[in-house]
Structure 1
Amino acid sequence: MTTTSHPCFGPSARASVGRIHLPVAPKTFARTKFAPEAKLPAAMMPEDAVAMLDELISSGKKIKVVGITGPGDPLADFDATYKTLKLVRDKYPRMNLCLTTLGIGGENYAEKLAELNTSHITVLVDAADSATAEKIYAWIRPSTKNIPLPEATILLMKEQAAAIKAFKEAGLTVKINTTIYPENVAQIENIARAVKTMDADIMGLTPFIPEKKSLFSAVSDVQIETARELAAKHIELMEPWLRCGSDIELEQPTSSSLPKPSLSRPNVAVASSGGMDIDLHLGHAQKIMIYGPREDGLACLLETRLAPEPGGGATRWEKLSAILNDCFVLLCDAAGETPKKILAANGIRTVISDENVEGTVDVLYGGGKKGKCKK
């Protein structure tokens, strides 16, 4: 796929090339001073995201590009990113894969991304030097802990440069996305010049648009036009397009992304203390309630199964997967990452909820069932 046929690069492709961003990145590397202080939305498990992709394609959506852009940074938890891209590549060999990242750690993952035939990668570069980066970022966390911002911004500059060079050496097409703030508007030409020396292919410039009643200022139209003219002297620019990036979604995850029953897995597993509400942490559940359709099609409580005894690490969750081998989903109030991953690998999606049991089960079977199950 060339830049002219990719919806994030070519204007003519935006209306004809279907694309979706799978939200499987659970962690982030940084936050700008201009971003709202909100907790990251929950990321999907790789298996769940691919199941959603399957459903969209089965429904007739002609998806040609799968990207990973959030809710965090795809390289902050590369295992989840790699697993998702590998699952998509194995199932859809002709699918175009791409991702958007700040670039930290990119040098370490370039070859693996190339092995998956990733077509494009976007690197978010908003500064040409650490002093400007300090004006833009609130914090940067390269690993598990924040480090002092002056030190972190220097590291960011080095990591981004190394990542861009490594991506190009691995044969990837590299796009640079730069947000224009009042703090960096005078430096846009320097950024364009720098990334071109690293062999970046194309650059996208997007002006920062503050929210209403925001204390932050926007750049003027004249500043934007001047910045574009100066940057274009050094690197090819994308046409202006405010909707480039993680906001592009073929379809927002709604009821279409809910797990669905199949012939081999028709039932729902529920962790509940009394059968009324979904109120148990999976690790505390001693029994699992099993709901499924009766002969008349109504979803009812079929039986209760004993959960494996606590302890045993991953083996406990493998045993639970075997116990629930006819279930397509498990409902619980909370669950750790290890059981969720093991259950997902065995075809059981974990859904976290504190809603009413029967109402949630009804939704999973399509809702609107006529009549109620008589116990």
Structure 2
Amino acid sequence: MASRANNRIRFAATGESLQAMSPVEALAWLAETVDKGAALDGVTLAGPGDPLADLGPTLEVLSLIRAKYPEMELGITTLGLGAEQAAEALLKAGVSRVTLLVDGIDLDVIRKLYAWIRPGYRTVPLPAATEMLLSEQVMAMKAFVGNGCSVGIRTTIYPGYNDAHAEDIARIMGSLGAEFMAVASYVPVEGEEALLERPTPEMMATIHAQVSKHLRLIVVPETITAHAQNCSECGCQSPATFQPKPSTGRPNVAVVSSGGMEVDLHLGHAAKALIYGPREDGLTCLLETRSLPEPGFGSARWELLADILKDCFVLLAASAGESPKKILADRGIRVLITDDDIAGIVDVLYGGGKKGSQCRKGKAA
């Protein structure tokens, strides 16, 4: 649910990242998961960005979860930038466990691993940023451990970069109070050029033995590494696959598009919306085009839009501001940001494949 990134590993995926959920959407996903009977002992906030890169939404979702599920254990997975300053607020919000993403504790190793690090709202030159990262991770350990949090480490092994460094990470972080170290293998992203070879089983076995000397070892399966790089422990459920679904009261999809083929408009620039939904025979089609409120009414514009789209469960746009996303989410309409073709994404939302059959009744007026 964290939308803002504060770092990038050189070997990370270059394609489009997962879209973050709003706090309201995150609570809805959790409620849906609980209602399905999932046995959850806690919730960890992680990715696709960093929960501490924008603290406001993180505290908001923690508050929402605490209000609805007061007994549920709360945690975060973070790089640790800004953790010392945020620790008090996080502890008050109910956070009791923290997983720190530590892929190196040597400046040379870190500088080779990271493409950039952004401690605040601007990118700092890498030499200075790596020094700041090391310092803030140590301060994060002290702040959380000192206040009674359960703190663990997650390390991804990048062959030729930090594979000979894992035991040092375990030893030093263990001395600072870490309780476990989750070790993951670098896994090339499916469909993208592999920038590194995967670690060999022999390499990982050696690293596991080294780490076990200092900390409780958690081996992260490659299936989890591949789809949830920020997952704090194996076996957790990821909201990455969560998507809004039609209901009896909200069966339709709204789309803003300049030509009726692709989702290519900013919500704030859209004058009309295409409404897709099931016909009487069950086939999903373009049903109609609706005029949208004109700019200039502040938040009232988005409240009016929610009324216009009261039969829609999702709105597709190429971009949208935080205010309309929050207002519409509060009114039961999730805003999905995408630049995909309309036929494909609508078909997926109704449970079909990426390019399933679609009925389309022409282009946008």
Contact map agreement 1:29 1:141 (CA 8 A) in 2: yes
Q: CA offsets per residue over residues 191-227 of structure 1, 9 Å max, x none?
A: 2232233222222333445689856456666655554
In the alignment, is residue 204 of structure 1 matched against residue 182 of structure 2?
yes
Q: TM-score, normalised by structure 2?
A: 0.75
Percent sequence identity is 46
Amino acid corresponding to residue 59 of structure 1 in structure 2: K
Change (3 A) 1:230 1:268: closer
Contact map agreement 1:182 1:219 (CA 8 A) in 2: no
Residue 219 of structure 2 corresponds to which residue in structure 1? 240
Change (3 A) 1:278 1:261: farther
Deviation at 1:162, TM superposition (A): 1.0
Residue 8 of structure 1 corresponds to which residue in structure 2? none
Change (3 A) 1:319 1:124: same
Change (3 A) 1:231 1:344: same
**Counterpart-to-counterpart distance in 2, 1:38 and 1:60:** 34
Contact map agreement 2:271 2:292 (CA 8 A) in 1: yes
Change (3 A) 1:230 1:364: closer
In the alignment, is residue 317 of structure 1 matched against residue 295 of structure 2?
no
DSSP 3-state at the match of 2:57: helix
Deviation at 1:360, TM superposition (A): 6.9
Contact map agreement 2:208 2:217 (CA 8 A) in 1: no
* The one of 164, 169, 184 aligned to 2:162: 184
Contact map agreement 1:182 1:217 (CA 8 A) in 2: no
Q: CA offsets per residue over residues 293-327 of structure 1, 9 Å max, x none?
A: 89999988888665332124434323433554554
Residue 94 of structure 1 corresponds to which residue in structure 2? 71
Contact map agreement 1:64 1:96 (CA 8 A) in 2: yes
* The one of 146, 149, 152 aligned to 1:169: 146
Deviation at 1:67, TM superposition (A): 2.4
Amino acid corresponding to residue 180 of structure 2 in structure 1: I
Change (3 A) 1:276 1:139: closer
Residue 135 of structure 1 corresponds to which residue in structure 2? 112
**Counterpart-to-counterpart distance in 1, 2:181 and 2:348:** 44
Amino acid corresponding to residue 166 of structure 2 in structure 1: I
Residue 350 of structure 1 corresponds to which residue in structure 2? 335
Residue 258 of structure 1 corresponds to which residue in structure 2? 244
**Counterpart-to-counterpart distance in 2, 1:227 and 1:31:** 24
**Counterpart-to-counterpart distance in 2, 1:219 and 1:293:** 48
Which is greater in Rg?
1
Superposed, which structure 2 residues align to 1:74-93 within 5 Å?
A: 74-93=51-70
DSSP 3-state at the match of 2:133: helix
Deviation at 1:153, TM superposition (A): 0.6
Residue 57 of structure 1 corresponds to which residue in structure 2? 34
Change (3 A) 1:314 1:252: closer
Q: CA offsets per residue over residues 157-190 of structure 1, 9 Å max, x none?
A: 0111111111123322100122334333443343
Change (3 A) 1:169 1:318: farther
**Counterpart-to-counterpart distance in 2, 1:223 and 1:198:** 26
**Counterpart-to-counterpart distance in 2, 1:267 and 1:126:** 45
Amino acid corresponding to residue 122 of structure 2 in structure 1: K
Change (3 A) 1:110 1:289: same
Change (3 A) 1:61 1:150: same
CA RMSD of superposed structures (Å): 4.0
**Counterpart-to-counterpart distance in 1, 2:337 and 2:194:** 34
Deviation at 1:58, TM superposition (A): 3.0
Deviates more, 1:68-77 or 1:221-230: 221-230
Q: CA offsets per residue over residues 247-290 of structure 1, 9 Å max, x none?
A: 66646755x62233354x56654545687876643223334566
Q: Which runs of 5+ in 2 are unaligned?
A: 230-234, 353-358
Deviation at 1:46, TM superposition (A): 2.7
Residue 10 of structure 2 corresponds to which residue in structure 1? 33
